[in-house]
């Protein structure tokens, strides 16, 4: 893999996301798929470059967790590191579950919400489905997604009060 200025941060984040993927894959039964680590590295390198560019342009010292969550989701969706294994490629396999077909979206949501300290299980089924729909079918700007993350956090904060 190419060397990046953020190599240590990428390596640390890769390890955390790989563990998250393994847990998700087991819980959701994602057989016939794998996490492509080279694509994941590219996604994280792109994330760090994008964040650095935004901070430089906007004269920001540090990104808040909403932006970190949103930019993580953006780059995981753009790169799509969960791939079908070779045994699935080229087969007209109608048994692919919607869970597997939306694995990258699900993974991106879990990774993003990790920054927010919000367990996906706390989301209503309808909200989770709407979020899946949003990031699967619509090109969404990371800044817009950051606003969505802020509102989600605010909802959970208000519910605790």
The model's pTM is: 0.87
Report the 10 Å Cβ neighbour count for 72. Answer: 24
| pLDDT value of residue 7 | 85
Q: Is 6's pLDDT higher than 90?
A: no
| pLDDT value of residue 5 | 61
Report the DSSP beta bridge partners of residue 34: 83
CB 36 within 8 A of CB 83: yes
Gyration radius of the chain over CA positions: 16
Please give the residue that has the higher pLDDT: either 117 or 34.
34
The mean pLDDT of the chain is 88
CB 50 within 8 A of CB 75: yes
Q: Phi and psi of 82, rounded to 5°?
A: -85, 120
* Banded pLDDT at 161 (limits 50, 70, 90): low
Token pair for 55: 């901070």
Q: Is 13's pLDDT higher than 60?
A: yes
Predicted confidence (pLDDT) per residue in 66-111, tens digit:
999 999 999 999 999 999 886 655 555 545 667 788 999 999 999 9
DSSP string, 41-83: HHHHHHHHHHHHHHHHHHT-SS--HHHHHHHHHHHHHHH--EE
Residues of the chain with pLDDT > 70, as a percent, come to 88
Question: What does the pLDDT average to over 53-66?
Answer: 86
Q: Is 58's pLDDT higher than 80?
A: no
| pLDDT value of residue 32 | 83
CB 127 within 8 A of CB 84: no
């Amino acid at each position: 893999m190419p060397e990046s200025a953020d190599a240590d941060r990428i390596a640390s984040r890769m390890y955390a996301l790989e563990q998250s993927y393994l847990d998700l894959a087991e819980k959701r039964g994602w057989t016939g798929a794998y996490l492509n680590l080279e694509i994941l590295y590219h996604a994280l390198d792109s994330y760090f470059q994008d964040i650095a560019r935004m901070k430089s342009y906007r004269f920001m010292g540090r990104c808040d967790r909403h932006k970190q969550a949103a930019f993580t989701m953006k780059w995981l969706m753009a790169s799509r590191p969960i791939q079908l294994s070779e045994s699935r490629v080229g087969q007209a396999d109608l048994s692919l579950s919607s869970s597997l077909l939306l694995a990258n979206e699900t993974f991106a949501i879990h990774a993003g919400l990790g920054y927010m300290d919000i367990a996906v299980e706390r989301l209503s089924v309808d909200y989770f489905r709407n979020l899946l729909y949003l990031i699967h079918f619509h090109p969404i700007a990371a800044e817009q997604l950051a606003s969505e993350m802020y509102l989600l956090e605010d909802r959970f904060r208000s519910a605790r009060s």
